Structure 1
Amino acid sequence: MLKNYEVESAHTWTGRVDSSTDFDSLRWHQWIKIIDLNDTSLKAFDGKFAFAFIGFECDHGIGLNKGRVGAAMGPESIRRELSNLPCQFSQDIKLFDAGNIVTYGLTLDQAQDCLSEAVNRVLELNMFPIVLGGGHETAFGHYKGLFKNFHPKKENIGIISFDAHFDTRPYKENGGTSGTMFRQIHDLNLENDEDFNFMVIGIQKHSNTKSLFNYAKENGIKYILSRETVNSSIPSLFEQIDEFISGVDHVYITICSDVFSTAFAPGVSAPTPLGVDPETAIVLIKHILSHDKAVSFDICEVSPRFDKDSTTASLASLLIFTVVTKVANIIEMNNKRRNKKIDKE
């Protein structure tokens, strides 16, 4: 049984109704189904493809990192923005709300362990996890759930993080924060004789110490500076991404909302005047997904208390919409190829 877990209320998913019978007119709030991950009668999904949303109501790591807390309320604000999105996919694609990990009274380590169990449970149910953070400490709990599922199969996981920060600061003396997760993942992999495959897109030089750049070089961390997403050609960025993905079995995509400038994402812990353009991020995300290796996704550090007009939550919902519709498109194309092959035979 999952600990510190709550089923999401169906009342969260409400919105405009254009039709209740025409699928092409439906919105996400009409298509999503609420599930309880602690329901032992749940069976693994056996349809074409399913996404499951998990909320991680935690910003302990941000507080420990001396940042602006508030991201624990992120899942609620993101769900509100997701509700009215149109179903731009076939009826074979299913959406499930898999509830929330609530972390009041827990240590950061305990909260991350709870999230890891929830992610692993979703994978066991044959669904694609989309985790709604929470601070970017979400990434360590999310990865541990993936690791628990894929490591026994000897399948490695490449992490592609969209972030202004490396988040690889030392942690062993004072414990983990929202700035240490990827060093913790590195150490977890080392302890288990697993390669560390990590790429960061959107790094800001003014937001990372020289020591962090040294750590990246020493440990083979690939990164693309924020300014390179403006000054370099898209094909050259694709080449770097392709080279990284070619060396891994699966890809986990994680986004910290502070990778975008405050013009697009004011509701974050560490706002910045500069950042990756969301349109560029969407192009890169679609390219990553086109490799058909993605197994999970999260969006972190959406903080409603600083979010003017729900701008950041709205951007988060558009990024999730991109992931869902692109993956759905890939599934549909693969099915068409499979059917053509069967017809030829």
Structure 2
Amino acid sequence: MINFYSPQDMSAWSGRIDDENDYLSFRWHQWVKPLNLNDKSLKPFEGKLAIGILGFESDQGIELNKGRYGASQGPYAIRRELSKLPCQFSEDLKIFDCGNVTSKYTNLVDAQKVLGEAVGKIISLNMFPILLGGGHEIAFGHYMGLSNYLDDKKEKNLGIVSFDAHFDLRPYDKEKGGTSGTMFRQISDLCKEKNTNYNYFVMGIQRHSNTEGLFKTARDLGAEYILAKDIINGDFKKTTDKLDAYLDKLDKVYITICSDVLATAFAPGVSAPQPLGLDPEKIIILLKRVLKTGKAFSFDIAEVSPRFDHDSITANMASILIYTVVTGLAENYGLNLIYN
């Protein structure tokens, strides 16, 4: 039994209907089905490809990190935008809404553990997890779930590809737990405990948003990174070459996006707005490059904060990035209806 968990109220999935029977006219709200992770009768999916959407209703990590809270409402806002997307994949691709884990009734440490359990459950059901934050503290719980699942597997060299303006490698109290600024340091410590490889590659780092101590910590831990300015104005081939070399050594890839990596024009509704952030087109190109390797294991997007999100711009941007992930996975399985 997964605690601090609830199935999704499917009223979030609604929108325009062009046709009730013609699948080619369907939008996601007509295709997504509910799934209760605490249903004991569940069996692994046996089709070609299934997506399991899970929300993490938490911004405790943001508050502990002295950021602007509000991301706990992100999962609902993102679902509302996902509802509008067209089904441009075949009917062999199934999408399930697996509900939400919340930190509202517990502390962040326990909420992250529960999130890890839920992630492990989704993977055990033979589905690809797509998680909706919530603060970027989602990353530690998410990674724990992936790592624990891989413990007894042969291909367990798991790597992180993160799109973020921040390293999130700050010191933390190991007894009290971390914040939304410590997850990848916590993951490093977890890897040491389990004697597994720590593979962390982050793109979009802003010099003005990270102390020199964080750059040193990144170097000391062997983290790889690319500055935002080098993605925006540098030789893009150097970026893709560095990414390719990193991906080559991995068995599985966990992709995580903190919405504050984007320029404020594309993502105003975040805890830490980024005026000089990335253009989403660049992120989409890099996302597709990761997906084409066939190594993508799981995905999340964090820190969509509706209380600051004028016209749902950030939630809409998150839905487009999720659309990129789903259609990229579908292409690997030959399930896309439209090829450009």
For this structure pair, what is the TM-score category when the shorter chain's length is used for normalisation?
over 0.9
Q: What residue in structure 1 maps to residue 236 of structure 2?
A: 234
Aligned equivalents of 2:35 and 2:279: distance in 1?
Answer: 35
Q: Which residue of 1 aligns with 2:162?
A: 161
Report the Cα distance in structure 1 between the residues aligned to 2:127 and 2:288, rounded to whole angstroms: 20
AA aligned to 1:126 is: N
- 1:144 corresponds in structure 2 to 144
Q: What residue in structure 1 maps to residue 316 of structure 2?
A: 314
SS in 1 for 2:18: coil
The amino acid of 2:245's aligned partner reads E
Q: What are the equivalent positions in structure 2 for 1:104-253 lying under 5 Å apart?
A: 104-154=104-154, 155-172=156-173, 175-253=177-255
Partner of 1:281: 283
Deviates more, 1:93-102 or 1:153-162: 153-162
Misfit runs of 4+, over 6 Å: none
Asked if structure 1 preserves the Cα contact closer than 8 Å seen for 2:74 and 2:305, the reply is yes
- Render the CA deviation track for 1:199-249: whole Å, top value 9, x for unaligned: 000000000011111111111111010001112233221111111111111
Percent of pairs with identical residues: 56
Whole-Å Cα distance in 2 between the matches of residues 211 and 305 of structure 1? 32
**297-306 or 174-183, which deviates more:** 174-183
Partner residue in 2 for 1:98: 98
In the other structure, the counterpart of 2:32 is 32
Is the contact between residue 4 and residue 105 of structure 2 (CA under 8 Å) also seen in structure 1? Answer: no
Shift of 1:151: 2.2
Give the residue type in structure 2 aligned to 1:214: K
Amino acid at match of 2:165: A
Shift of 1:21: 1.4
Contact 2:294 2:332 in 1 (8 A): yes
SS in 2 for 1:318: helix
CA offset at residue 15 of structure 1?
A: 0.6
Deviations 1:35-93 (A, max 9, x none): 10000101100000000100000000000000000000000000000001000111111
Report the 3-state secondary structure (helix = DSSP H, G, I; strand = E; otherwise coil) of the residue aligned with 2:263.
coil
Residue type of the alignment partner of 2:160? I
Aligned residues: 334
Partner Cα distance (1:236, 1:327) in 2 = 25
Take 1:292 and 1:236, find their aligned partners in 2: how far apart are those partners?
A: 22
CA contact (8 A) 2:54 2:129 kept: yes
Aligned-pair RMSD on alpha carbons? 1.2
Listed as ranges, the gaps of 5+ residues in structure 1 are 335-345
**1:124 CA drift (Å):** 0.4
The runs of 5 or more residues in structure 2 that have no matched partner are none
Q: 2:261 maps to which residue? A: 259
Please give the secondary structure, in 1, of the residue aligned with 2:152: helix
Q: Distance in 2 between matches of 1:261 and 1:237?
A: 19
**Residue 84 of structure 2 aligns to a residue in which SS?**
coil
What amino acid maps onto 1:290 in structure 2? K
Q: Tell me the SS of whatever aligns to 1:261.
A: coil
TM-score, with structure 2 as normaliser: 0.96
* Equivalence for 1:67: 67
SS state of the match for residue 254, structure 2? strand
TM-score when normalising by structure 1: 0.95
Give the C-alpha shift of residue 311 in structure 1: 0.4
